[in-house]
Structure 1
Amino acid sequence: MELSEVIRRRRMVRNYDPDRPVPAELVEKLLGYAVHAPSAGFSQGWEFLLLDTRADVERFWTATTPEDNLPSGWLDGMTRAPVVVVPLSHRDAYLDRYAQPDKGWTDRDEARWPVPYWHIDTGMASLLVLLGAVDEGLGACFFGITPDRIPAFRAEFGVPEAYTPIGAMTVGYRAVDKRSPSLKRGRRESPSVTHRGQWGNRSDS
């Protein structure tokens, strides 16, 4: 599939066919795309927790679903996904990398960073998984783990404190789902978000 078509078709899929497993080789292919993402200093401070058995997927939802969660069609559809991938960023990989001789920030001061690139780079790696899923005829959805459930997630899967789950991705074959009400807002086109030469000089002005 052409890249332009992959980008055009990309959307968050929130309902999956529970009777159609994703071949292991496809999952590995998606994770192979992820490691081609850019990273500051080629730090590559990302890890991925792959949950591709029914038991592990159920453990994930048990650990991450808020106890006061109300019945939800969104949750029903999402829990049918046969695969969950949790991308985790590793800040220390960046602080260590930039303390090396060719970078020279030997104090490892996090304040030197204008934004936390460890999160940004892991997010870009996640986007490659989402785009790769479209190219392979799969559906995928990126979503957050609520802060109050992160300790339970860490405990359930033995994730060290040094690694931060920036979200999670469901992957599977798409089933019929409803259009997100949020899409009623409409997509902002590039001229309305582009400022040419000076803030406020929009292309659509």
Structure 2
Amino acid sequence: MEFSAVVRARRMVRNYDASRSVERAIIDDMLGLAIRAPSAGFSQGWHFLVLDTDESRELFWSTTTDPDSPTDRWQRGMRSAPALILAMSDKQAYLERYASPDKGWTDKDEARWPVPYWDIDTGMASLLILLSAVDHGLSSCFFGVPPEHQNATKSAFGIPPRMSVVGVISLGYGVPDPKSPSLKRGRRGLDEVVSYQSMTD
């Protein structure tokens, strides 16, 4: 597909054909594109954990959801995804990289960073996965792990404490699902979000 067509076709899909798995070769190809994302200082402080077995996905859902809460439509749909990719960032990799001689900082003070580039870079890599999914004829959705389940998720999958789970990408072959009510807000136009040279009220 042409790049503009891929971008315009991308959607957050929350319901999948559970009977169709995603080949690991395809996932590897997608992740091979993801690591082409930009990263500050070429730190590349990201890591991706693929859950594509029934056992690993069930462990994820049992770890990140409340067993006493009823299963809603969102959860039923997302549980049908045959693959989940946990996108993680490593802040320490950035602090260490910028303390290297070629960067010139003499310490690893997090206050030097105006925004958390470790999370931003992982987010950009995740977007490449979402776009690659479209190019492969797949559907996907990016969602977060609630703060109260972050530590349990790390423990369940042996994720080092220094890593942060920035988000999760569900992946599979999408099936029809009701559109998100949020779409009723409409897409903001360029005249609302773009300014040249200066911003005025």
Give the TM-score, by structure 1 length.
0.95
Aligned residue in 2 for 1:131 = 131
Q: CA deviation at 1:30?
A: 0.9
Question: Could you list the runs of 5+ residues in structure 2 that have no partner in the other structure?
Answer: none
Q: CA deviation at 1:71?
A: 2.6
Aligned-residue RMSD, C-alpha: 1.0
Q: How many angstroms apart in 2 are the aligned matches of 1:125 and 1:33?
A: 8
Q: CA deviation at 1:93?
A: 0.5
Q: CA deviation at 1:153?
A: 0.5
CA separation of 1:124/1:186 partners in 2, compared to 1, >3 Å: closer, same or farther? same
Q: Which moved more, 1:163-172 or 1:60-69?
A: 60-69
Q: Does 1:183 align with 2:186?
A: no
Aligned residue in 2 for 1:30 = 30
- CA deviations on 1:40-76 (whole Å, 9 max, x unpaired) are 0000000011111111111111111134533311110
Residue identity in the other structure for 2:144: G
Map 1:108-187 to 2 at 5 A. Answer: 108-187=108-187
Q: How many angstroms apart in 2 are the aligned matches of 1:58 and 1:200?
A: 50
Q: How many angstroms apart in 2 are the aligned matches of 1:162 and 1:151?
A: 11
Q: How many angstroms apart in 1 are the aligned matches of 2:151 and 2:115?
A: 24
Q: How many angstroms apart in 1 are the aligned matches of 2:200 and 2:83?
A: 44
Please state whether the residue corresponding to 1:166 is helix, strand or coil: strand
- CA deviations on 1:84-118 (whole Å, 9 max, x unpaired) are 00000000110111011110112111100110100
After the TM superposition, which parts of structure 1 deviate over 6 Å for at least 4 consecutive aligned residues? none
Q: How many angstroms apart in 1 are the aligned matches of 2:68 and 2:7?
A: 36
The share of aligned pairs that are identical, in percent, is 53
Q: How many angstroms apart in 2 are the aligned matches of 1:106 and 1:90?
A: 20
Residue identity in the other structure for 1:118: W
Q: Does 1:193 align with 2:178?
A: no
Please state whether the residue corresponding to 2:132 is helix, strand or coil: helix
Aligned residue in 1 for 2:40 = 40
Residue identity in the other structure for 1:92: Q
